[in-house]
Amino acid sequence: MNASVNIPVISIDGPTASGKGTVAHRVAKQLGFHYLDSGALYRLTALSAIRQGIDLWEEQQIADLARVLPCRFEKGHVYLAGDDVTDAVREEAIGVAASKIAVLPLVRKALVELQVSFRQTPGLVADGRDMGTVIFPDAIQKVFLTASVEARANRRYKQLIEKGFPANMEDLVKDLTERDARDMARTEAPLKPAPDAFILDTSHITANEAVHQILSLYAIALRNQKTI
């Protein structure tokens, strides 16, 4: 039996700009758990493919690239082959490219093992789109964050402006709507809540309020687990 299955996992899934990254990172910090930003792995793969001139529909080539992805996460920074690409992977163009390669079954399969390897003691908070449905179906607590397209576009707009990137609200709404449709329609691990996930709408609550709710849910899950 794989001992890692006894390591607790909190999965936080949801669409782009639902706040899952910020919330998951804070939950992990509060608990002293490891943190997995699965979306960053797809963004890193997309960025690497673009840098190497690989077409985004070249499934096998991108899968081979993903399998040996030279990346690391360190003190809030993201590195690709030694280069700090923290800002680069957050650019809208890279986000769109990541969404496109995420529909490719061979690419998803190549990244599964890498994602599972993040499950280490004392625990893991994993955010993405299929953490609770595919990667960690045995997570002790599953959360699906959601928010209106308008609320998510507004958040993304503020993030981009603060970082000095150009942004247009109409374009962001259109992009998020298209990405939602693509993520939900894909045949491989479509974006959807796990049957036992707690649905948390963040349209009108702060990130700290969401963190508080998730920590409370986790505490209840721990108590229930001990009584079984």
Spell out the SS3 assignment of 153-207: HHHHHHHHHHCCCCCCHHHHHHHHHHHHHHHHHCCCCCCCCCCCCEEEECCCCCH
20 assigned binding-site residue: yes
Assign domain 7-227 to a CATH class: alpha beta
pLDDT in tens, 68-97: 898 887 777 889 988 999 989 988 889 889
The answer on whether 18 is annotated among ligand-binding residues is: yes
Average confidence (pLDDT) over 170-187: 88
Bridge partners of residue 200, in order along the sequence: 145
Mean pLDDT to the nearest integer, 172-194: 87
pLDDT of residue 2: 54
Given this model, what pLDDT does residue 165 score? 82
- Is 16 annotated to bind a ligand? Reply is yes
Least confident of 20-24, 31-35, 112-116, 214-218: 112-116
202 has a pLDDT exceeding 90? yes
Q: Which has the higher per-residue pLDDT, 103 or 203?
A: 203
Are the C-beta atoms of 21 and 141 separated by less than 8 Å?
A: no
- Higher-pLDDT residue of 226, 120: 120
Closest to 140 measured CA to CA, from 39, 222, 30? 222
Residue 123 contacts residue 11 (beta carbons within 8 Å): no
Q: What is the pLDDT of residues 2-17, one digit of tens each?
A: 557 789 999 999 998 8
17 is in an annotated binding site: yes
Where residue 45 falls among pLDDT bands split at 50, 70, 90? very high
* 15 labelled binding-site residue: yes
pTM score of the predicted model: 0.84
pLDDT exceeds 60 at position 190: yes
Helix (H, G, I), strand (E, B) or coil at 81: coil
Residue with tokens 């690497």: 48
Q: What is the dihedral of CA 104, 109, 114, 119, to 10 degrees?
A: 120
Please check if 32 is assigned to a binding site: no
What is the domain partition of the chain in residue ranges? 7-227
| Token duo for residue 32 | 């002293």
Instruction: Give the whole-number percent of the chain exceeding pLDDT 70.
Output: 97
Residue 14 annotated as lining a ligand binding site: yes
